């Protein structure tokens, strides 16, 4: 899934943990559950338009990826108070796609990245997906599957509104 989905999930988790638990368990459970949520949420990415490699020549791919990234960054602003849930819900992506990817790029003599084997946490996501969600359709290259993630994000956003009121 994309940044916006993980941001909304992290906020959702932090609100619930702080509603139902007291210090220090609210912080501890936010960190643990938000981090683990990433694996579950990303396992479902097979039903969304989520190509494992970039398609810079495809205008739709470029538009979609820029859009979800910008919307994700914008969503951080009003929900900044829930930074703990946001950070830990996104930590596997921060590690795999920001840190490990840059290390791999420097190690490769040709400067290219192997998008399928240069990650750490997402290997576990793949195993979860293969063992538990094998029955779901694979739409990672189907452009209309952006609607699935948009609907998930809308439901999460509406849920957050109800939680915050």
- Which pLDDT tens digit goes with each residue over 22-81? 999 999 999 999 998 988 888 888 899 988 888 999 999 999 999 999 999 999 999 999
Q: Which stretch, 42-46, 64-68, 128-132, 134-138, has highest mean pLDDT? A: 64-68
- Predicted local distance difference test score (pLDDT) of residue 153: 94
Tokens 């919307």: give the residue.
71
- Predicted local distance difference test score (pLDDT) of residue 125: 73
- Predicted local distance difference test score (pLDDT) of residue 152: 94
Two tokens at 140?
């990672």
Count other C-beta atoms under 10 Å from residue 104's C-beta: 16
Classify each residue of 47-86 as buried b or exposed e, where b means 16 or more C-beta atoms within 10 Å of its C-beta: bbbbeeeeeeeeeebeebbeebeeebeebbeebeebebbb
How far apart are the C-alpha atoms of 65 and 10, rounded to whole Å? Answer: 20
pLDDT of residue 86 exceeding 90? yes
Reported as half-sphere exposure (CB side, CA atoms, 13 A), residue 109 has a value of 0
What's the mean pLDDT when you consider all of the chain?
A: 86
How far apart are the C-alpha atoms of 45 and 2, rounded to whole Å? Answer: 9
pLDDT of residue 111 exceeding 80? no
Two tokens at 75?
């969503």
Contacts with 8 (C-beta within 8 Å, 6 or more apart), sequence order: 75, 153, 156, 157, 160
How far apart are the C-alpha atoms of 65 and 49, rounded to whole Å? Answer: 10
């Amino acid at each position: 899934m994309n940044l916006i989905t993980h941001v909304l999930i992290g906020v959702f988790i932090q609100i619930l943990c702080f509603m139902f638990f007291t210090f220090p368990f609210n912080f501890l459970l936010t960190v643990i559950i938000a981090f683990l949520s990433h694996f579950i949420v990303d396992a479902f990415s097979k039903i969304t338009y989520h190509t494992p490699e970039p398609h810079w020549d495809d205008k739709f791919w470029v538009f979609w990826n820029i859009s979800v990234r910008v919307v994700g960054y914008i969503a951080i602003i009003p929900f900044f108070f829930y930074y703990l849930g946001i950070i830990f819900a996104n930590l596997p992506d921060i590690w795999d796609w920001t840190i490990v990817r840059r290390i791999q790029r420097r190690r490769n003599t040709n400067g290219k990245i192997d998008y399928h084997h240069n990650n750490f946490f997402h290997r576990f996501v793949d195993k979860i997906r293969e063992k538990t969600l094998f029955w779901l359709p694979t739409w990672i290259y189907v452009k209309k599957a952006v609607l699935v993630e948009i609907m998930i994000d809308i439901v999460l956003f509406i849920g957050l509104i109800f939680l915050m009121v």
